[in-house]
Amino acid sequence: MAEAERVIGTPEVDDEAAAPAEQPKGKRRLAVLFAVALVAYLLDLGSKMLVVAKLEGHEPVEVIGDLLQFNAIRNPGAAFGMGEAYTVVFTVIASTVVLVIARLARKLYSLPWAFALGLLLGGALGNLTDRIFRSPGVFRGAVVDFIAPAHFAVFNLADSAVVCGGILIVLLSFRGLDPDGTVHKD
C-alpha cells in the first residue's frame, strides 16, 4: 500500500507530520482575516479623514443626482440616527464584537469565514475609532457618516463592511459552513 501511495504522488504521512501541514493553512486564514480587516479599516479611516477635511460644513455633493450624495454628518447613535443617548452602549457592543472575533480567530480554518470576519472586524474597528477619538469625548464620540442614498440612512464605509460581513456570515451559516472549516447539514 505504501508503494501505491508513493506512485500516485500522495506520500505516506503519520499524524505528527500532518499537524504542521494544517498549521500554515490556519495561519493563512488569519492573514486573510487581518488583511481584509486592515483594508476595510484603512479605507474607512481615510474616507472619513477626507470627508471631515473637505465636506464637513459644506453643501452635499451630488454623486448621482438626487439618488446618491456625499453629505457629512456626525451620528452619535446607530443606524437611522436611533439611540443617540446610547453612544457608550454602541462602544461596548463594538468592543465586544472585536473581542469575539479575536477569540473565534483561533479556530478559524475557513477562507470565506476569514473574509467575512475580516469585514466585520474592520468595520467595527472603524466605527469604534470614531466613538473613542471623536468629539464630544472618549467613548461618546459621534461617527462620521457621509454616503447618503435617497430615502435611506446616511452611512459610511465601516457600516458597509459590517453589513457585507454580516450578510456573508448568514449565507455561510445557511450553507452549513462553520468557521473551523467543517460542513454540517441540519
| Upstream peptide bond of 20 is cis (omega within 30 degrees of 0) | no
Residue 102 has a CB neighbour count (10 Å cut-off) of: 12
The runs of H, that is alpha helices, within the chain are 2-8, 15-54, 87-105, 111-133, 157-174
71 has a pLDDT exceeding 60? yes
Average pLDDT of the chain, as a whole number: 84
- Better-scored residue on pLDDT, 89 or 124: 124
Which amino acid does the sequence have at 167? I
Q: Whole-angstrom Cα distance, residue 139 to residue 92?
A: 9
DSSP state of 144: E
Integer angstrom CA distances of residue 11 from 5, 8, 15, 183: 6, 8, 13, 26
Residue 76 has a CB neighbour count (10 Å cut-off) of: 20
Q: Whole-angstrom Cα distance, residue 127 to residue 146?
A: 13
Catalytic residues: 145, 159
With bands split at pLDDT 50, 70 and 90, how would you rate the model's confidence at 76? Answer: confident
Arithmetic mean of pLDDT, 69-96: 80
Contact status, residue 37 vs residue 121, Cβ threshold 8 Å: yes
Arithmetic mean of pLDDT, 89-117: 90
Per-residue pLDDT, 184? 83
pTM for the model: 0.80
Residue 183, strand partner residues: 177
Looking up cell 500532518 gives 18
Arithmetic mean of pLDDT, 73-91: 75
With bands split at pLDDT 50, 70 and 90, how would you rate the model's confidence at 87? Answer: confident
- Better-scored residue on pLDDT, 24 or 90: 90
Query: pLDDT tens digits, residue range 8-58?
Result: 444 444 444 444 444 456 688 999 999 999 999 999 999 999 999 999 999
Q: Tell me the percentage of the chain whose pLDDT exceeds 70.
A: 81
Per-residue pLDDT, 24? 56
CA 169 to chain CA centroid, nearest Å:
11
